[in-house]
Amino acid sequence: MNILVCLKQVPAKDAPLKLAPDAGWIRDDVTYETNEPDAFALEAALRLKEAHGGEVAALTLGPARAAQVLREALAKGADRAIHVEGGEAHRLDAFAAAEAITRAIAGQAFDLILTGLQSDDAGYGQTGVILAELLGAPHATIIMQIEPAGEKKVKVKRELESGNFQFVTMPTPAVLTIQSGINKLRYATLMGIKQAKNKPLATARLDDLGVTPSLNRQQLLGLALPQKSKGTTLLPGSPKEQAATLLRHLRQDAHVL
């Protein structure tokens, strides 16, 4: 089974984020990591390859620094990587990003394309599904299990609301968007990190693919800190004072203790 995994580099979970002066994006002097569900998608792809054979290709769309997620993927066991490079990557909406990915993989045949269900930064929750539409492939979202189901078919478990699930079988090639927690992530080994240096990493430039923000179907017009809707009482002081004030409020004002 040949699998493509789309990995996005996003600001690290606990990176303090500041707005850029034009309020059009964040200041990029933060640490980055692989988008969480994408890491699970890579793990799912590696497990499928180990069980059933084939090849895993990792793809990212982003500036030069995004190559780091590819190096990690190669170190964990991906066979090759594709870097769709462009400084304007973060200005592309989900449609334009899916268009860029589609163009970058034109002519390459995959049985499965895995994406995360949502990116931690933009959070569109759309790129994988749009990719399926552009490729004319069936898709399923929020996937918690994948297994081959005979010739050119795959059976997956979809997560639904409130603890409900559903199995869905579809022909491949197919696009699946992966939910965090589908498996347990592996770490790269020293051996893997060494081997990664010799694995192929292809680069395609957004300009050459003809993808610019002019393809966007939605426009980000500005970012701001959220308005606080509730009057939160912040409790000052040392931890001990905070604890004491909290218990007093809960007993005397909120009457919940």
Partner 1 sequence: MNPILVIAERKITAPGKLNPASLEAITAAQALGEKLGAPVVAAVLEAGESGCAAECAARRLERVLVARHPLLGAYSPDVWVQALVQIITPLQPSYVLLPHTYQVRDFAPQLATRMGAGLISDVTGFNFASTPPRFQRPMFQGKFTAEFGFSGEGVPGFCTVQIGAFRGDQAAMGAQPAPIAAVTVTPEPSRLDSGEIFQEAKQAVDLTQAPIIVSVGRGIKEPKNLDLIRELATALGAELAASRPICDAGWLPMDRQIGSSGQTVAPKLYLAVGISGAIQHLVGMKGSRTIVAINKDPEAPIFEVADYGIVGNLFDVVPALIALLKENPA
Ligand X SMILES: Nc1ncnc2c1ncn2[C@@H]1O[C@H](COP(=O)(O)O)[C@@H](O)[C@H]1O
Residues lying near ligand X in the complex (CB under 6 A) are found at: 6-8, 35, 37-38, 60-62, 89, 94, 97, 115-116, 118-119, 122-128
Residue 68 binds what, of ligand FAD, ligand X, partner 1, none (CB under 5 to 8 Å, by partner type)?
Answer: none
**Which stretch, 83-91, 101-109, 203-211, 238-246, contacts partner 1 (CB under 8 A)?**
238-246
Min dist CB 51 to ligand FAD, Å, is 26
Min dist CB 196 to ligand X, Å, is 18
Of 54 and 125, CB closest to ligand X: 125
Residue 60 binds what, of ligand X, partner 1, ligand FAD, none (CB under 5 to 8 Å, by partner type)?
Answer: ligand X
The sign of the CA dihedral 11, 13, 15, 19 is positive
Of 59 and 75, CB closest to ligand X: 59
Min dist CB 149 to ligand X, Å, is 23
Asked if 165 touches partner 1 (CB under 8 A), the answer is yes
Judged by CB under 8 A, which of 48, 56, 74, 130 binds partner 1?
130
Asked if 30 touches partner 1 (CB under 8 A), the answer is no
With b meaning 16 or more CB within 10 Å and e meaning fewer, what string describes 160-176?
eeeeeeeebebebbbbb
Task: Report how far residue 44's alpha carbon sits from residue 184's, in angstroms, rounded to the nearest whole number.
Answer: 9
| Spatial strand order in the sheet of 153-159 | 153-159, 139-148, 174-178, 112-116, 2-6, 55-62, 80-85, 201-205
Contact 154, 148 (CB under 8 A): yes
Task: Report how far residue 120's alpha carbon sits from residue 8's, in angstroms, rounded to the nearest whole number.
Answer: 9
Of 48 and 117, CB closest to ligand FAD: 117
How many Å is the maximal CA-CA distance in the chain?
A: 69
**In Å, how far are 31, 54, 63 from 125, measured between CA atoms?**
22, 28, 21
168-197 residues near partner 1, rule: CB under 8 A: 168-171, 180-181
Min dist CB 118 to ligand FAD, Å, is 5
Of 35 and 172, CB closest to ligand X: 35
| 80 SS3 class | strand
Task: Report how far residue 123's alpha carbon sits from residue 93's, in angstroms, rounded to the nearest whole number.
Answer: 10
Site of interaction with ligand FAD (CB under 6 A): 13-14, 117-118, 142
